[in-house]
Structures are given as structure tokens and as C-alpha cells.
Amino acid sequence: MDELQRLIWQGENDQVDFKQRVTQPEKIARTMVSFANTRGGTILIGVKDNGTVTGIDPEEEKHTLQLAADFYCNPPVTLTFEELEAERRIVLKVTIAESSTKPHFAKIKEDEWRGYVRVKDTSVQTSKMVNKVLEHEAPQFESLQLDRHENAALEMLQKQPRITLKQYMKAANLSERRAYRILVKLVIHGYLRLHDKEKEDYYTLS
């Protein structure tokens, strides 16, 4: 199995996104920013959401992608391009590394910029609090030194399958603001997963 097949077979996740084509720089900028703000990632252009390879004209796509990275991301995001072939069609592999100058923001409209992080297979808009966490954290998640409060969250999850913000606040005796910042930091660094499609958000170990 070659690299492209392997990426498609794994499906979209927290570090891989499929796009059939790129027509709107402001939309792809959100995905770019979410990868740069989290653990980096790969966008495959010329692949449908279901994994079907449709192929693209790489030069046309590169132009729109570079425009998005330079003018719709602040600070600009660095892209690496690689052309891969499957079923006689060209797929453009776009790699975005985890950034050392977080947080990045995507331009939504004139004078409006928003931050995004990658949670599972979607780009989730960040709050002001999350942006502050991104700004002050170590850029590489491997080098994160966990303090006792962060370790307490992981220890709780070794004893039970999930925790909510309220449960963590109570157990660790923390304010809502502080507890939320810690849990978000652990999500961004890949220790926890946020499940926000339920009635009440909860966290599990990654």
C-alpha cells in the first residue's frame, strides 16, 4: 500500500483532511489554521469526503492554497506541496507543520479573524480563552511538562471512562476558567479527546 492509499484508507481524522477542490481561500484557511494550531496535518486535494480520488490540476490548486496561506491566515501558514498519483489522476498533498508561532487566525470577512483547532475530523472555532492557552503553551506537544492538575485529569480518566468539566472542577478544586484551560490544553496536546456532540461536553483519553 503506497502513502496516498494509506492516508485515504485511514480516512479523515485529527491530522488528515480530504478536499475535492479548493475554490474559496477563506474556507481552506480555517483548516490550515486548525492544523497549525494543533499538531500539524495533511490536506489531500483531489479526494472526495468518502475517499474517492477525483484528481485536480495541481498548479491551479497551489495558487488558491498559497493565497489562503499568505492572506487569509494570520500569521501566514507555511505549506509544503507534493504531487501524488493514483488511478492516473493527480492528488496534491499539502503538509502543514505544527506551528511555533501560535495562535493563528483565519480571515472570515473584512476585519474579522477567528482561531481554530483540530478536534477529530473537524476544525473547531476557539474561544478567547483557548487562544490564550495556545499563545502560552510550548509549541511542540511532546515537550509538554505536565503539572499536578494536568496529571490529576489523566489519573481520573484512568479510573473512569469519561469526565465532564464540572466533575474535574470539583475533583481538582479548581475554578471553571482554570479547569477549562487545563482540559483544552490537554486536548490540543493530544492527551485528551473532546466529545462535544453530546448533551454535555465530556473528555476521554486519546
Give per-residue pLDDT as tens, 6-40.
999 999 999 999 999 999 999 999 999 999 999 99
The mean pLDDT value for 163-191 works out to: 88
Query: Is beta strand 192-195 parallel, antiparallel or unpaired with respect to 202-205?
Result: antiparallel
Start-to-end CA span in the chain (Å)? 26
Q: What's the whole-number average pLDDT of the chain? A: 89
Contacts of 94 (CB under 8 A, 6+ apart): 42, 43, 44, 45, 65, 79, 80, 81
| Residues 205/192, Cβ–Cβ less than 8 Å | yes
Q: How confident is the model at residue 70 (pLDDT cuts 50, 70, 90)?
A: very high
What domains does the chain contain, in order, with CATH numbers? Answer: 3-125 (3.30.950.30), 144-205 (1.10.10.10)
More confidently predicted of 61 and 1: 61
What is the C-alpha to C-alpha distance for residues 139 and 142, in angstroms, rounded to an integer?
9
